[in-house]
Structure 1
C-alpha cells in the first residue's frame, strides 16, 4: 500500500461509525496533515505532470516523492485552519491548484444559467432574489475526467465522506453586486431526501482571484465581528482566495441538522467571484 493510502486508511468511515468518532478521526487527520508539510509551508510554484493531468508536489518534498496518491491529495500543499467547532468549519488553504481552478471555470463558462433555490414545498429549483448568481452542474460523464476524479477523491478524503455520497459539483459565478442571502444547505422538504438522504457537509472551493467582497459569511459562528461585502457584521467570514476551500457541516455531532450552519455569500464589490460547491449526503447518491 502506498504511503499516502496508509496515511488516509480508515478515514472514510465518517458516516458509518458515527459523527463524533468521525470528528475525532478528522482532527487526527488534520494533525497528520500538519506533519506532512513540516514547519514551513512549501512554495506555491508548481510543475505539471506530463502524463496524468494534475500537479506534482514541489521538488524537495522527498517524503511523498513518487507517490501518486500524494499528488492527487496535494499532500504537502493543503494547509488546514479550523476556524469554528460549532458550527464546524475548516478552511483548507491551497486545496486546489491554479490549473484546477482555471479548468473548472473553463468547462463551466459557456453553460452558466441563472441560479435557483430549492422550493421547500415541491423540492424543485426555482428562481429567487435570495440568490443572484449564475451556475451549472458538471454531468456524470465529466465526473470521470482525470482532473475531476482527482478533485472528487481529495474532497472525499478531506471530508471523510465516501465519494458516492457526493452530489455533482456545481460551479458558480457571482458578478458585481451579486450575493446569496444567509441560508441552510440541509433540506426542509422530503422530496430531496429520497436520493441520498440529508446533506451533512459542504465543500466550497474558490476559483478566482482579485475579488473584493464576496466573503462566505457564517452569522452564528464566532463571537466577534467580520467583514461582509464591505460591511462590519457579527459572526465569521472567509475571504474568497483562489485555490482555498471551506469545509463545513450542516449536521451536528448529534446527527441532527445544525441551525447554526446558516451561511451566505456576501455581495461582490468588484471583480468576479467563481466558486465550486460539492454537497455530501448521508447515503449514496448514485
Structure 2
C-alpha cells in the first residue's frame, strides 16, 4: 500500500474544508501548503530521527491498515443511517444507501487502531479524545450518499463533545469507476461524479489516501460550504473509514 519506503499511510491528507468557498487560487495555495508540510515531515522519516522509535509509525509502515479495517468491519456491516434533525435519532433513509459499522471501545484498544487514531490527532491538531469512533463504510454498485453536512442541527447530538469540527475521510481501496467524494461548493469547475459531469471538486478514492476537511470556520460557526457527498459507484465497490472530530472530549 505504501508508495515508497518513507510514505506513511493516511498521511497524504488533502486540506479541503477550510478552503471551500474561498477563491480557486487560495484553494490551490492551501493544498500546496499542506502537501509541502507533509513532504517536509517525510524528509525526516529515515534513520536517526524521532520517527525511528515511534512504534505506532512502525505499525503503519507495514501497510496493512486498510485491509485490516475492512476485515474487522465486514462481519458487522449494517444498513447505514442518517441523523433525524428533529429528534437527533439515527434513521434509515434513501439519501444514504451504503452499509457500515462503528469500531467498538474494544477495537480502539488494538495497537494498529490506536496508531491510526494517533496519526489523525497529529495531523488534524485535534486531541484524540475529541474523536468519535471510526466508522467503516462499504458502497456497492449504484450506492451513494447525497450531499450533506457533517455538523449537527439538533441539540441532542451536541450534548456529548459539542459540535463536529472536522472530518477525516480515509479511503481503504481503489474504486474501479465512480465513488468519488464530491464537494459541490468548492469552485465552479466540472468534475466526474459517478459518471456524470457536475460542478464542484471531486476526489477519487485511492487506497491509503485521506481527506481532512472542516465543518466549522475560523469564526467558530458551522460552515455550510462544507457540503459533501459520496458519488454513486459505477463499477466495483468502495470502502472508506470516517473519523468525526468534536469541539470537546467525546465519550
Among residues 151, 172, 195, which one is paired with 2:137 in the alignment? Answer: 172
Q: 1:65 to 1:123 in 2, by over 3 A?
A: closer
Match of 2:248 in 1: 283
Deviations 1:5-35 (A, max 9, x none): xxxxxxxxxxxxxxxxxxxxxx988644322
Counterpart check, 1:271 vs 2:236? yes
Structure 2, gaps ≥5 residues long = 1-31
Match of 2:222 in 1: 257
Among residues 128, 137, 155, which one is paired with 1:163 in the alignment? Answer: 128
Residue pairs, 1:94-173, within 5 angstroms:
98-173=63-138
Task: Give the drift of 1:72.
Answer: 3.0
Of structures 1 and 2, the one with the larger relative CO (CA 8 A, separation 6+) is 2
What TM-score, normalized to structure 1?
A: 0.72
Match of 1:62 in 2: 47
Alpha-carbon distance between aligned partners in 2 of 1:258 and 1:29, rounded to the nearest angstrom = 20
Match of 1:82 in 2: none
The Cα RMSD (Å) is 2.2
Match of 2:178 in 1: 213
Equivalent residue of 2:133, what SS?
A: coil
Task: Give the drift of 1:225.
Answer: 1.1
Match of 1:16 in 2: none
Alpha-carbon distance between aligned partners in 2 of 1:123 and 1:96, rounded to the nearest angstrom = 39
Task: Give the drift of 1:105.
Answer: 0.2
Q: 1:213 to 1:29 in 2, by over 3 A?
A: closer
What TM-score, normalized to structure 2?
A: 0.82
Among residues 23, 35, 41, which one is paired with 2:40 in the alignment? Answer: 35
Q: Contact 1:139/1:168 (CA < 8 Å) preserved in 2? A: yes
Q: Contact 2:56/2:111 (CA < 8 Å) preserved in 1? A: no
Q: Contact 1:137/1:169 (CA < 8 Å) preserved in 2? A: yes
Equivalent residue of 2:64, what SS?
A: helix
Match of 1:47 in 2: none
Structure 1, gaps ≥5 residues long = 1-26, 39-56, 75-94
Q: 1:279 to 1:114 in 2, by over 3 A?
A: same
